[in-house]
Structure 1
Amino acid sequence: MDFISDPTCWQQSVDPSAPPELILSDLLMPKLQGDELLKQVATRYPSTVRALITGDSSRDIPELAGANVHFILPKPFTESDFSYVLDSVERLYDLPLSDKARNQLAGLEALPVLPSRIRKINQALRDPDADVGHIALMVSEEPALVARLLQLANSAYLGFGKQTMSVEVALNRLGTTVTSALATCMLAQKVFSQVSAQEHQSIVDQHLKLAGLSRNLSEQLGVAKAHQESIYLAALMSALGELVIREMGTHQQDIESLSTIEPGRSDALVITSYILILWGYSLEIAQIVLESEEEIELTTLPQSEGQMIWLCRQWMKQDSQTSRNQFCQQLAPQIGHFFQDWPE
């Protein structure tokens, strides 16, 4: 670790042959503002992860975020906030991506910084001592999120028979993993200025369907409950990569074929895996996202969480009852029967 007192001399303190993995900078500094310093870092060392510490309440977080900043730590921050950044950076370097891909990802202008509202809700959900009633109040301030939570909590296909209109009951039914994923996808709309609310909703809806289908398939195949939740989370959060690409101006119909960051990998899934690590999710979830484009023989049973998502994605691509029937006939009987019984 290197500590630099004069921000204008930061480059002299860095070994050019060994770019730093992480640079943290205060925002308000003499001679050079922190956001400008990180802009210089991004130009000189594009793969370095960049974090900004700020107590300046006069500037909005979205104004500070962008291609030059990966993390923003508003003051006062806690030790756990700091650990979250360090853990995330460690996981980023464990992602199975090339240096070229890391450089490109680190410089994406549309890469979103985790909104503070999502961070606070997710922190509360991860706290084992958190009061469910307090979390319900936080969630209730977001009407669109409440509506979607209640919809899922009343879904027969997630195993819920009794109807409820209680946010607390919905939180208990869905659990922290599903609630956190849904809150992240729904509230992320605030960081995308070029994606309309209607389009955002459409993309999230498609991935909600994929997530529910994938989790039900994993349950059918006897996958442990903890892994079912990981599958649901990876499938739903894959919406983030699509949203980033749409924010960059790519047409929706072109997203699936886009593979410019890492050869042989979908840009949307690579971006999703990168964002998930930046936003504090586990390396396991990011790897499931990447594995969800690994093709398998249709006649075989999926052997990994990612393969189950891939199979469900193929079924969702069938645009008619005839094509769905033909698709099911190619599958192992256990899988074919599952999809034939799934309502459209």
Structure 2
Amino acid sequence: MRILFVDDEQMILDGIQRALFDSDWEIDTADSGQKALGLFADEPYDILVSDMRMPGIDGEELLSKIETSYPDTVRIVLSGQADQAAALRSSFISHRWLDKPFDRDALLHILSLIENALESMPSREMRTLICGISSLPSPPRVYAQIQTFIQQRADLEDVAKVISEDAALTTKVLQVTNSALFSRGGETTDVQAAVVRLGVEMVSEFVLFAETYFLATSSPFLNVDKVTKESFVISKMAAEVAETIDESLVSEAKLAGLLSDLGQGALLQAFPDKAQDYLDKIAYANEAEIEQIELEMFGLADAQIGAYLLLMWGFSAEIFNAVLIGRQYERSISSCSTLPIIIHIARHLARGRDIHEEVVSSLCIADKLPEWKEQAERLRA
């Protein structure tokens, strides 16, 4: 794996070289954005790690150019001096934000996770898909509603509620909040806590950038309203199931449920020429059939794409695992974690499908099923 570190402070670059000297990766450095672009022109890198404040071509401009010209490169910010507005803008063109001074073990861990994710991609085309997607589109009406709340100086609870009902906004809000710049209060999976941490002004700026970015990347094949509603039902049912099975997992279950269909939007954006054929084929298919169709058409299932996107964006291994294996009962029930099986149950409830008897008996939830089915039906309606 080839990694390029960019910083105008030579001491920082020397420290990185020392910290990673015994790794198996090819490490190069550049002390300016211009030199970095020259190195990319010679041979592209798998990962770019850049400072934000640099003379000439700064980090934001460099990240943007790399995103456009080399979309299969993973883009990471390593900075300690960027203002909040710059940090927010960078979140739409980078996958991770790491703080200075960097922690060697944390840096090694993150780079190893990314390496594992990239090595799992079956083709360069799929790598371009994974690295090139920063977010998914959201319906414009959601932004209008949030803007109205902000203008009326409504409670942050109201703003958080609107955001929490939208998978794309939830993903980006939590990605930004849990980045090194804002996570000093500890990692959170709660949208209201995230909105409180960011503040009204930051949320307002965030909505402005999100509206511009999400609409620019919208796919004509992606029924955003339909995806949003289905994700919301899965999230609600995941929380209900978690309250019965393991109350400590309610927050993670809501989040994993909301994001469990993340990869399908990515597939539609990446393969517009196959999108209509794909949608026709999966219209009446079950989870196992859908996965087989995706593997045959794209070489990768949407659950894998969604999970790896979340891993790139810094979400926990638990959320990654739940999204990756929560589709089919054979995988979810054999997991050492309870979260995937919760997501499996929630997805079936949300789509009005029967839950496998082995799942019902192993978790002793037969008495809860009628209530859950009624609630899911109400939410779908």
> Could you say which TM-score interval applies, normalised by the shorter chain?
0.5 to 0.7
Task: Name the SS of the counterpart of 2:77 in structure 1.
Answer: strand
* Corresponding residue to 2:232 among 193, 208, 229: 208
Displacement after TM superposition at 1:247 (Å): 0.8
Counterpart in 1 of 2:372? 339
Displacement after TM superposition at 1:242 (Å): 1.9
Displacement after TM superposition at 1:245 (Å): 0.9
Q: 1:313 to 1:134 in 2, by over 3 A?
A: closer
The aligned length equals 273
Alignment of 1:148-187 (within 5 A): none
1:259–1:266 contact (8 Å) kept in structure 2: yes
* CA–CA distance in structure 2, aligned partners of residues 111 and 50 of structure 1: 13
1:118–1:187 contact (8 Å) kept in structure 2: no
Q: 1:234 to 1:92 in 2, by over 3 A?
A: farther
Displacement after TM superposition at 1:261 (Å): 9.0
* CA–CA distance in structure 2, aligned partners of residues 261 and 27 of structure 1: 43
Alignment of 1:123-272 (within 5 A): 123=179, 126-128=183-185, 132=196, 135-142=199-206, 190=214, 193-195=217-219, 199-221=223-245, 223-225=246-248, 227-248=249-270, 249=272, 250-251=275-276, 253=279, 256-257=290-291, 258-260=293-295, 267-272=301-306
Q: 1:136 to 1:261 in 2, by over 3 A?
A: farther
Displacement after TM superposition at 1:269 (Å): 1.1
Task: Name the SS of the counterpart of 1:334 in structure 2.
Answer: coil
Task: Name the SS of the counterpart of 2:232 in structure 1.
Answer: helix
Matched, 1:79 2:79: no
Task: Point out where structure 1 has 5 or more consecutive residues left out of the alignment.
Answer: 6-17, 43-48, 146-185, 319-323
* CA–CA distance in structure 2, aligned partners of residues 4 and 139 of structure 1: 32
Displacement after TM superposition at 1:79 (Å): 1.6
CA RMSD of aligned residues (A): 4.9
Q: 1:109 to 1:337 in 2, by over 3 A?
A: closer
2:264–2:302 contact (8 Å) kept in structure 1: yes
Counterpart in 2 of 1:36? 41
* CA–CA distance in structure 2, aligned partners of residues 201 and 144 of structure 1: 20
Q: 1:32 to 1:328 in 2, by over 3 A?
A: closer
Tell me the alpha carbon deviations over residues 127-161 of structure 1, each in whole angstroms, 9 at most, x when there is no partner.
Answer: 3189937523312445599xxxxxxxxxxxxxxxx
* CA–CA distance in structure 2, aligned partners of residues 128 and 329 of structure 1: 41
Q: 1:41 to 1:110 in 2, by over 3 A?
A: closer
Tell me the alpha carbon deviations over residues 149-207 of structure 1, each in whole angstroms, 9 at most, x when there is no partner.
Answer: xxxxxxxxxxxxxxxxxxxxxxxxxxxxxxxxxxxxx7796386242598344423321
* CA–CA distance in structure 1, aligned partners of residues 206 and 36 of structure 2: 41
Query: Higher helix proportion, which one?
Result: 2
Residue identity matched to 1:283: A
Q: What percent identity do the matched residue pairs reach?
A: 13
Task: Name the SS of the counterpart of 2:25 in structure 1.
Answer: coil
Tell me the alpha carbon deviations over residues 251-283 of structure 1, each in whole angstroms, 9 at most, x when there is no partner.
Answer: 4625744433999x9621111121112111122
Q: 1:23 to 1:120 in 2, by over 3 A?
A: farther
1:231–1:309 contact (8 Å) kept in structure 2: yes
Matched, 1:284 2:307: no
TM-score by length of 2: 0.54
Q: 1:118 to 1:231 in 2, by over 3 A?
A: closer
2:242–2:342 contact (8 Å) kept in structure 1: yes
Tell me the alpha carbon deviations over residues 55-90 of structure 1, each in whole angstroms, 9 at most, x when there is no partner.
Answer: 425848544315232114276563267877644322
* CA–CA distance in structure 2, aligned partners of residues 116 and 340 of structure 1: 31
* CA–CA distance in structure 1, aligned partners of residues 243 and 312 of structure 2: 29
Residue identity matched to 1:107: T
Residue identity matched to 2:127: A
TM-score by length of 1: 0.59
Residue identity matched to 2:346: C
Q: 1:236 to 1:70 in 2, by over 3 A?
A: same
* CA–CA distance in structure 2, aligned partners of residues 230 and 292 of structure 1: 13
Q: 1:51 to 1:188 in 2, by over 3 A?
A: farther
Q: 1:4 to 1:72 in 2, by over 3 A?
A: closer
Residue identity matched to 2:129: L
Task: Name the SS of the counterpart of 2:72 in structure 1.
Answer: coil
1:234–1:288 contact (8 Å) kept in structure 2: yes
Counterpart in 2 of 1:106? 127
Task: Point out where structure 2 has 5 or more consecutive residues left out of the alignment.
Answer: 6-22, 83-98, 136-170, 187-192, 283-289
Counterpart in 2 of 1:304? 338
Q: 1:87 to 1:22 in 2, by over 3 A?
A: farther
